[in-house]
């Protein structure tokens, strides 16, 4: 075993990650997300919340499709790059409450990605162990350069099949 740590999307136990068969490093995954079990019920409260948060039924349908694919990947243990959910609106529209709900749906492990993505912090192991990352109210709409940089970083994170992880006093590894 080359490392012991929690890694987003992986189940507890010894996992072979990346590389060629037989040569790939083995990791002891020390934690996993605690996905909630869906139950049939009256969804009117959440549907009303979605109607206030999103502008159109089409946006709600895109969100539900993204959610279904993402939750299914977690349930099945499928590790893949994919779409990123970005919410933009004025303050007070319920984005932070919505992010809390998303975090619960994905098992409750989340991390604030501000330090790593915007300030180029060296240590990012908290992100590696979280299924949901937040960047809540961090970029000024007037700062075009900062918005461009953030867009580039989000694209890199969403599209890159591997990531370098570094924890303080523990060295760097790639997953």
pLDDT at 61: 95
Q: Which helix (H) or strand (E) holds 111?
A: strand 110-112
- Provide the token pair at 161: 């099949």
| Residue 24 · residue 17 · CB < 8 Å | yes
By C-alpha distance, which of 4, 5, 7, 47 is closest to 130?
7
pLDDT confidence tier of residue 102, bands split at 50, 70 and 90 = very high
- Is residue 77 over pLDDT 80? yes
Task: Give the residue carrying structure tokens 């949901």.
Answer: 132
> 83, 36, 41: which is closest to 63 by C-alpha?
83
Quote the pLDDT of residue 139. 63
Burial zone of 117 (CB within 10 Å; 0-12 exposed, 13-18 middle, 19+ buried): buried
Listed range (20-29, 47-56, 88-97, 99-108) with the worst mean pLDDT: 20-29
CB-facing half-sphere around the CA of 2: CA atoms within 13 A: 13
């Amino acid at each position: 075993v080359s490392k012991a740590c929690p890694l987003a999307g992986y189940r507890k136990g010894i996992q072979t990650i990346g590389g060629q068969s037989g040569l790939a490093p083995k990791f002891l995954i020390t934690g996993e997300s605690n996905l909630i079990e869906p139950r049939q019920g009256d969804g009117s409260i959440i549907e009303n919340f979605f109607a206030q948060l999103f502008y159109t039924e089409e946006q709600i349908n895109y969100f539900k499709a993204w959610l279904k694919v993402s939750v299914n990947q977690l349930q099945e243990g499928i590790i893949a790059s994919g779409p990123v959910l970005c919410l933009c609106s004025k303050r007070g529209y319920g984005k932070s409450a919505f992010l809390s709900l998303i975090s619960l749906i994905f098992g409750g492990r989340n991390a604030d990605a501000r330090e790593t993505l915007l300030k180029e912090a060296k240590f990012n192991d908290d992100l590696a162990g979280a299924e949901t990352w937040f960047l809540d109210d961090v970029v000024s709409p007037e700062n075009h350069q900062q918005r461009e940089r953030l867009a580039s970083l989000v694209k890199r994170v969403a599209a890159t099949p591997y990531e370098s992880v570094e924890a303080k006093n523990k060295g760097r590894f790639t997953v």
